[in-house]
Amino acid sequence: MKYYIELTLISNEEIPLHFLWEKLYQQLHLVLVERLENDKSKVGASFPKYNKEAKQLCNKLRLMALEKKHLETLNLDKYFSRLTDYVHWTNIKEIPVDKITGYAFFKREQVKSNHQRLARRRADKMGISKQQAIDFFAGKTESESKAPFIYIKSSKGNRYPLFILMTETNIKSNSAEFSSYGLSSTSSVPIF
């Protein structure tokens, strides 16, 4: 990664931080979906104040790219126009190489936590009865995530948590292949 834009979320008593994350990330997801190349985004997300212990993303987001043009085409002024009172962003800057303290993967953690929902999906997908699908999950423990999350709305209007897991690494990626959420388990981003 060579370039970045830093976004700062400004919450207050009336508008909590989690609400701003939800609105910001929903818009960011739409922006990145429109710019996918071969189902991959060239823009990655970094959360510089990520707090594992408190399970918080805090109030900063960095969008990073290898080439300046990938950040320029985001057109944040257009997509975030309704959020300008609550989200401030910088111009595109070069990543300060001398301030990099390491690298990290910010990736999506998918949690299989709702057996009822999973059973319905399994029944539909496999053409079996709902009871057979429920029996399949009987006795299995539901998993939980300790990662911070942002609620996202699906194209069908369903709300779901997008768990974001940070894994520190010493691997500097030379590629930029991120999901439509700006997350990746194969492309690292610098921490500074």
* 40 is a domain residue: yes
Specify if 87 maps to a domain.
Answer: yes
Helix, strand counts (H, E) of the chain: 5, 9
In a domain, 136, yes or no: no
State how many domains the chain has. Answer: 1
Among 104-118, 149-163, 170-184, the minimum mean pLDDT is found in 104-118
- 188, 43 Cβ separation under 8 angstroms: no
Per-residue model confidence as pLDDT tens digits over 147-175: 999 999 988 888 889 999 999 999 999 89
* Residue 129 forms part of a structural domain: no
Q: Any idea how long the chain is?
A: 192
CATH of the domain at 82: 3.30.70.2540
**Which structural domain, as residue segments, surrounds residue 24?**
3-111+143-191
Domain-embedded: residue 170: yes
With respect to residue 43, please indicate whether it lies within any of the assigned structural domains: yes
123 found inside a domain: no
